[in-house]
Amino acid sequence: MTADQGHDPRTGEPVGEPVPHTSPSELDRACRAAAAAVPALAAMPPADRAELLRAVAGALAEHAGELVPLADAETGLGHPRLTGELTRTRVQLEMFAGVLDEGSYLEAVIDLPDPAAQPAPRPDLRRMLLPIGPVAVYAASNFPFAFSIAGGDTASALAAGCPVIVKAHPGHPGLAARCGQVVTGALAAAGAPAGTFAVVHGLDAGRALVQHPAIAAAGFTGSLAGGRALFDLAAARPDPIPFYGELGSLNPVVITAGALADRADPIVAGFVGSYLLGSGQFCTKPGVVLLPAGHGLADRLATAVRQTDLGPLLNARIQTGYAQTAAALSAVPGVRSLLGPTAPPAGPGAQAAPVLLAVDAPTLLDRADELLVECFGPASLLVEYATTEALLATLSALPGSLTATIHADPATETDLVTTLVDRLTARAGRVIFDGWPTGVAVTWAMHHGGPWPATTNAGHTSVGVTAIRRFQRPVVYQNAPDPLLPPALQDGNPWRIPRRVNGTLTT
């Protein structure tokens, strides 16, 4: 196949014209242009780079009336959801523009010379973070704006001063191509260097992109299999590069007896709403829920699920993967079906029926390799524990996740809650109390990452201000003449940024 074709998941019908795959020569030209753009983009004052991001945000808002219907036609996610997601994408760009204006992202540190320092005289040392170089971004299927062409990876890389080449997702190729044109035009009009941004299409182009010698880092959101394949290619290069992949997450939820006694109905409603949100196609979907044995919620849960309307899955490939994984989970000995799996509803497109399974904790521990598997779509697994010891043993078996959630009664279960916090903090990047994991705020404090297999590097995030840190590297200048220093480190501090001088933060 030499082109990607969009399809309406509600009908299965083609959408728009096929988008040709990027040829090897086209990919090479884009990567070389990105490398050539590095010096000029890195040298732009932060305030000027901030205006580039604001220009992209403004262009997306200006073209919303065109982009949202195109996204809906290729993803079936609906105008309200997509309008909100486009707003989130714009907000991310504007947030990083504010990060550039504030300046602390450079982490400028100055240690002035001290001939009396012990155990030896100290030279003049000045350290800051610099752009790492051209970044490859791999777009996700389930967030066609916020984790795609102009999403968080692109915004944070551009903010860092890195040219970006985005590998478009084949699930929404027409939208990717048009968004790429909008972003490229906005950057050019705002004065970005030629080569600052490009979009490529096709599986072969995606593989070649992460291996191209001009690429210095990569950001990925997608499946465990796809991310692991690219991660291995990045590591196998003659010059290995950092690969920041968000791959898959079960997002465990622990519900205690105290929580059920206090608020069972809100818990039922909240869980069902969260695991079926977006037809279960969120990376933060609660995929494993630990409940006390004898919880008595089976009928209420099944009823709440049946009363929830589901949209289609994003595409036929996801529909097939969902059906296969749900069937495999339900076939594991000891697993009970509270709902499904069944054949998808009759009709065209990528329809799917919800699945809710249950298993006791000892069986889960015996069959962990088979059961602790992400099922991307409207499915979740209830794990029933009879004792605190069984609960804690189950938590120890869980793989790393983006999130972990606790529903408990701290007043009557103080020791248990303390233990749960410790155990879940070791397994996830975000620990949630009395809430649900779907919904990731775009803020300075957010961390959207976690231990393997949630991400390839638990020390970094793909959402929030510190996402920029993935695409920077530290450099120290020793005894450098002031005129040769970057502006951020010069004595006069011409960019007026926060700096730490001799250990003291100055603003």
Catalytic residue among 85, 94, 246, 384: 246
Summarised one tens digit per residue, pLDDT across range 34-58 is 999 999 999 999 999 999 999 999 9
pTM for this model (two decimals)? 0.96
- Residue 1 binned pLDDT confidence (cut-offs 50, 70, 90): low
The residues that bridge with 136 in the sheet, in sequence order, are: 165, 218
Interacting residues of 294 by C-beta distance below 8 A, sequence separation 6+: 384
Whether 283 is catalytic is yes
Active-site residue identified among 31, 162, 179, 283: 283
In tens, the pLDDT along 214-243 reads 999 999 999 999 999 999 999 999 999 999
- Please tell me the distance from the alpha carbon of residue 476 to that of residue 196, in angstroms, as a whole number: 26
Decide if pLDDT at 288 tops 80.
Answer: yes
Q: Which domains does the chain have, with CATH numbers?
A: 23-113+121-247+458-489 (3.40.605.10), 253-433 (3.40.309.10)
pLDDT, residue 347, reads: 81
Residue 481 DSSP one-character state: -
Render pLDDT for 471-488 as a digit per residue (tens, 0 to 9): 999 999 999 999 999 999
Q: Which two tokens stand for residue 353?
A: 């029926």
Indicate the SS3 state at residue 360.
strand
CA-atom Rg of the chain in angstroms: 24
Q: Which two tokens stand for residue 122?
A: 């100290």
Would you report the helix, strand and coil content of the chain in percent, each value rounded to 5?
45, 20, 40
Residue 59, both tokens: 């262009």
Tens of pLDDT, residue by residue over 246-268, are 999 999 999 999 999 999 999 99
Strand partners, 291: 384
pLDDT digits (tens, 9 = 90+) for 447-475: 999 999 999 999 999 999 999 999 999 99
158 SS3 class: helix
Q: Tell me: the pLDDT tens digits for 83-103?
A: 999 999 999 999 999 999 999
Query: What is the per-residue pLDDT for 507?
Result: 87
Which helix (H) or strand (E) is 135 found in, with range?
strand 135-138
Percent share of the chain, pLDDT over 90: 98
pLDDT at position 356 is: 98
Rounded to an integer, the average pLDDT of 283-303 is 97
385, amino acid identity: Y
Tell me whether strands 197-200 and 164-167 are parallel, antiparallel or unpaired: parallel
What's 280's DSSP letter?
G
31 is catalytic: no
